[in-house]
Amino acid sequence: MVTAAESAGGKAHRLAELREFLMSRRARITPAEAGLPDGGGRRRTPGLRREEVAVLAGVGVSWYQWLEQGRDITVSAQVLDSVARVLRLSPAERRHLYVLAALNPPAPEAAPEDQDMCDGLRRLIEAWMPFPAHIMDVYWNTVMYNDAAAAVLGMRADVTRNCLIDFFTDELYRSRMRGWEELAPSIVAQFRSACSEVPDDDGFRAVVEEAKAASAEFVELWARRDIRPGGQNRKEMDHPVAGLLVMESTQLRVPARPDLVIVLHTPLPEAGTAEKLEWLVSPEGRRGALYPLAG
């Protein structure tokens, strides 16, 4: 149980961190960068003055001084966003400001300098070979996948679009998945959990509407309103060439790219799955997969 003294101590620490954070961010912005004349001569402190931040953010000078001094004052998301804009905070810094000000932070977003990470993520899933791995965006649209995901999960360019919709509509995938009916409620609950992070996002609504139009099974499961965070799922698959494969799929997030989810499939110590996966991506296994097979 947290005592009153401990709670007060935590609040004091948070406000102290808020003060130091705002001072450090203000110090790195020059008047020229903020569109202000430097006024000539040397400044006693580097960066912007408190008064300048207040004017540029459209807030009262006294209010901003109290904020930076770590006083216990009421703040709003709109005002914090104005301060964040003036101080040129990155998405991560903006979320940090919200936390220090005791407000619910906005949804994570990738900073511009982190947008170009796809080459590195491609190397990651290729290094996961011979085990299946793929990457999807926040809406579960497929971004990329490795050769093992194609061979085992049936991911392919002419069909693979959205992992949720494909789960219900891709007959090849469904024909291979043992216990599809048992897994389906968990998949839908995990997608609803992802939706709950940004409830007003039209992108999620579009995926849900498409899934409803494509699958009566999805409609029934979605109506349950179950919630389950994305984590791990056990998958048993009947591969037409390799036979039974038992894997554990794990969803991972990269903090710098919160708009992406990495899904890694790890073989479980059953049915010789690891050895079968290694064979499937070998030259011999690839040749075997070329023959027309049911499913």
* Per-residue model confidence as pLDDT tens for the chain (295 residues): 344 544 767 888 888 899 999 999 999 998 888 888 766 556 677 789 999 999 999 999 999 999 998 888 888 999 999 999 999 998 889 989 998 998 888 777 766 666 667 788 999 999 999 999 999 999 999 999 999 999 999 999 888 799 999 999 999 999 999 999 999 999 999 999 988 877 778 999 999 999 999 999 999 999 999 999 888 899 999 999 999 999 999 999 888 888 899 999 999 999 999 999 999 988 887 776 655 444 3
pLDDT at position 26 is 92
CA–CA distance, 121 with 263 (Å, rounded to integer): 11
Q: Contacts from 267-270 at CB under 8 Å and sequence distance 24+?
A: 267/131, 268/234, 270/246
pLDDT at position 295 is 39
pLDDT at position 39 is 60
pLDDT at position 122 is 93
CA–CA distance, 154 with 294 (Å, rounded to integer): 13
Neighbours of 119 (CB within 10 A): 8
> Token pair of 96, please?
């940090």
pLDDT at position 38 is 65
> Token pair of 138, please?
């926040």
Contact call for residues 272 and 278 (beta carbons, < 8 A): no
Neighbours of 257 (CB within 10 A): 21
